[in-house]
Structure 1
Amino acid sequence: MSEAFYTDKARVRAAFERAATSYDSAAVLQREVSDRMAERLTYIKHEPAVILDAGSGTGYGAAQLRERYPNARVIELDLAAAMLKASRTKQQDDAGFFGRLLGKARSSWQVCGDLEALPLADQSVDMIWSNLAIQWVNVPDSVFAEFRRILKPDGLVMFSTLGPDTLQELRTSFAGVDGATHVNQFIDMHDLGDALVRTGFGEPVMDMDKIVLTYDDARGVMQDLKAIGAHNATGGRGRGLMGKHAWQQVCAAYELRRRDGKLPATYEVVYGHAWFGRPKQKADLLPDGRQVIEFKKPGQVPR
């Protein structure tokens, strides 16, 4: 990934702080992917006592984890404090008056922090769950190294992120308008699998889905991205407002992709899970000692 496409973390934080109140109204993709991740947990035998939701947003995934693992302590971690506050408010509302009175409104711990510098002790969690957060990090090795540091032996990491074909329609429509970057660049599934192995994870399994959302116009795509805080945070972004003529060019280019009366917005969703601390079996190694990474076909549920 070139430096022009590196994300500005301060800008990412500010965008999600602003989006906390509008996030749930537009986070259709995030909820769908969280549901698909939760389904994958059905096929994995693991009983964690402490779970980290890394990039927890407004708490949708954390609620699923509390329901699936009622005896586990769930830690919600997000870069934006406003997202954590929104999750806490929902938990208090769900608990009702008597639940708050009895102290049952907060069954999660909450930590405001950075995925690349997790404020947690070494070997302190049994499982890490991260739904659509890693795409905001420029070098996945740094995140996976932190995940490995805080996981206990036999700990599981399960994540989703976005692949290179995400928002391809929008990226193509912006091409040639100017020299700036307008859409974030995302890391390939195979590179993520390699990063897992480099940072010491075993038995990595990767797969991918494509999810297409549809809109009436290009402005609707941009409004949804703004509502969930997914602004263009690349280093090569333009520093001023786009002119009216340039925006008309973008809209005209996007219109060429209209099908059945709607404009598509494609998301390539990459899923991965791996274990830390499990000894590598000889069958999982290539003759030169390299580890095998299992890649699943699109739509195929991992074991």
Structure 2
Amino acid sequence: MTTLPHQPDWFLHAHLAATLDERLSILRQPPEHILLAAADGNESYRLLKMRYPHAQFQEFDSRDTYLQAAQAIRKTKLSWWQKLNGNLPAQTISDQLPGNQDADMVWSNLGLIHQADPIAVIKNWAEALQPDGLLFFSHFGPDTLKEVLTLWRAEGIVVKTPRLLDMHDLGDMLYQHGFYDPVMDMNMLTLQYTRAERFIDDMRTAGLWQSLQFDNEIDAIRILAKAWQDNDIHNVTLELVYGHGIKKQVLPDNAAPIQFYSSSSTKTSVS
């Protein structure tokens, strides 16, 4: 069971959700059926519900504590009428989205970080979407926690980070497993902490700490605490990766789309 800190702070999810939400201004047709592939303390649902008030939402996450936290936040913000009508997104304790090609949008704010097989996840996202359905997601890149990783390795701690993925590799995975030319970008976020305990809590909330593979986690925490006590670490860097793509149409074998162009076009093609 994946646990959360006693009082989780969802500020990282909020930052990522807001950045992804800015990209939605280009959409002309509002989605009617949105799948939330990972709970994020209600940050994504709050923004998407304001933008698309008539959409139907479903939320999926194998981490039941994350689902419970998101629903608890929602319940504190509902009006009495909303509480009476149970106006909350349906939740499923699973990372597996329904593969019925029914959704208009899959939205995953840090949904990849706790899953071991990104290709299987991306294939599942594609299976859940209608042809030309939209995917929006966020993740952490390989330069994430570079100061902390350098410290640990200098102290002889072996730590692997297989789930920190380069945005170009992620783009290739999307293209090869169900999506038209994906759009990927990234930025760097620098955080300042005064206590190692708060840093670890925030990384646990983000799912990032659990993705690290230590040979000795207890020693890693001890070294981290000493580094903060000795003022050897001031800043922590996160590489934030954003992506979106359009679900490819899947045609039967030996079939191809027919394209028509207006007479004013300089290119005419029928295939």
Question: Could you say which TM-score interval applies, normalised by the shorter chain?
Answer: 0.7 to 0.9
For 2:18, the equivalent position in structure 1 comes to 35
Mapping of 1:151-162 within 5 angstroms?
151-162=129-140
Structure 1, unpaired ranges of 5+: 1-13, 258-262, 282-303
Matched-pair contact (CA < 8 Å) for 2:113–2:211:
no
Match of 2:4 among 4, 16, 19: 19
C-alpha distance in structure 2 between counterparts of 1:109 and 1:163, whole Å: 31
- Partner amino acid for 2:218? L
For 1:73, the equivalent position in structure 2 comes to 56
- Partner amino acid for 1:53? L
Matched-pair contact (CA < 8 Å) for 1:177–1:249:
no
- Partner amino acid for 2:219? M
Matched-pair contact (CA < 8 Å) for 1:173–1:254:
no
For 2:246, the equivalent position in structure 1 comes to 275
Cα 1:125–1:111 shift into 2, 3 Å? same
Secondary structure at the residue paired with 2:30? coil
CA root-mean-square deviation: 2.8
Cα 1:127–1:226 shift into 2, 3 Å? closer
Kindly indicate whether residue 109 of structure 2 is the aligned counterpart of residue 128 of structure 1. no
Cα 1:65–1:52 shift into 2, 3 Å? same
C-alpha distance in structure 2 between counterparts of 1:137 and 1:254, whole Å: 34
Paired-residue identity, %: 29
For 2:116, the equivalent position in structure 1 comes to 138
Matched-pair contact (CA < 8 Å) for 2:10–2:40:
no
Secondary structure at the residue paired with 2:18? helix
For 1:86, the equivalent position in structure 2 comes to 69
- Partner amino acid for 2:147? E
Describe the superposition over 1:76-124 as per-residue Cα deviations: whole angstroms up to 9, x where unpaired. Answer: 11122222222222322222334322x1x4331211112xx33x14112
Give the TM-score normalised by structure 1: 0.74
Kindly indicate whether residue 212 of structure 2 is the aligned counterpart of residue 241 of structure 1. no
C-alpha distance in structure 2 between counterparts of 1:200 and 1:265, whole Å: 35
Match of 1:60 among 43, 48, 52: 43
Aligned residues: 252
C-alpha distance in structure 2 between counterparts of 1:244 and 1:82, whole Å: 23
Kindly indicate whether residue 92 of structure 2 is the aligned counterpart of residue 111 of structure 1. yes
C-alpha distance in structure 1 between counterparts of 2:12 and 2:110, whole Å: 9
Q: State the Cα distance separating 1:211 from its structure 2 match.
A: 1.1
Give the TM-score normalised by structure 2: 0.82
Secondary structure at the residue paired with 2:78? helix
- Partner amino acid for 1:160? S
C-alpha distance in structure 1 between counterparts of 2:142 and 2:221, whole Å: 28
For 2:264, the equivalent position in structure 1 comes to none
Secondary structure at the residue paired with 1:153? strand
- Partner amino acid for 2:75? Q
Cα 1:68–1:233 shift into 2, 3 Å? same
For 2:198, the equivalent position in structure 1 comes to 220
Cα 1:244–1:22 shift into 2, 3 Å? closer
Describe the superposition over 1:246-267 as per-residue Cα deviations: whole angstroms up to 9, x where unpaired. Answer: 4566448971x5xxxxx11111
- Partner amino acid for 2:121? V
C-alpha distance in structure 2 between counterparts of 1:267 and 1:244, whole Å: 19
- Partner amino acid for 1:242? D
Matched-pair contact (CA < 8 Å) for 2:101–2:128:
yes
C-alpha distance in structure 1 between counterparts of 2:164 and 2:43, whole Å: 24
Q: Which has the higher contact order (CA 8 A, sep 6+)?
A: 1
Q: State the Cα distance separating 1:157 from its structure 2 match.
A: 0.5
Matched-pair contact (CA < 8 Å) for 2:58–2:91:
yes
Structure 2, unpaired ranges of 5+: 250-256, 260-271
- Partner amino acid for 1:143? V
C-alpha distance in structure 2 between counterparts of 1:252 and 1:95, whole Å: 42
Secondary structure at the residue paired with 1:187? coil
C-alpha distance in structure 2 between counterparts of 1:61 and 1:273, whole Å: 15
Secondary structure at the residue paired with 2:192? strand
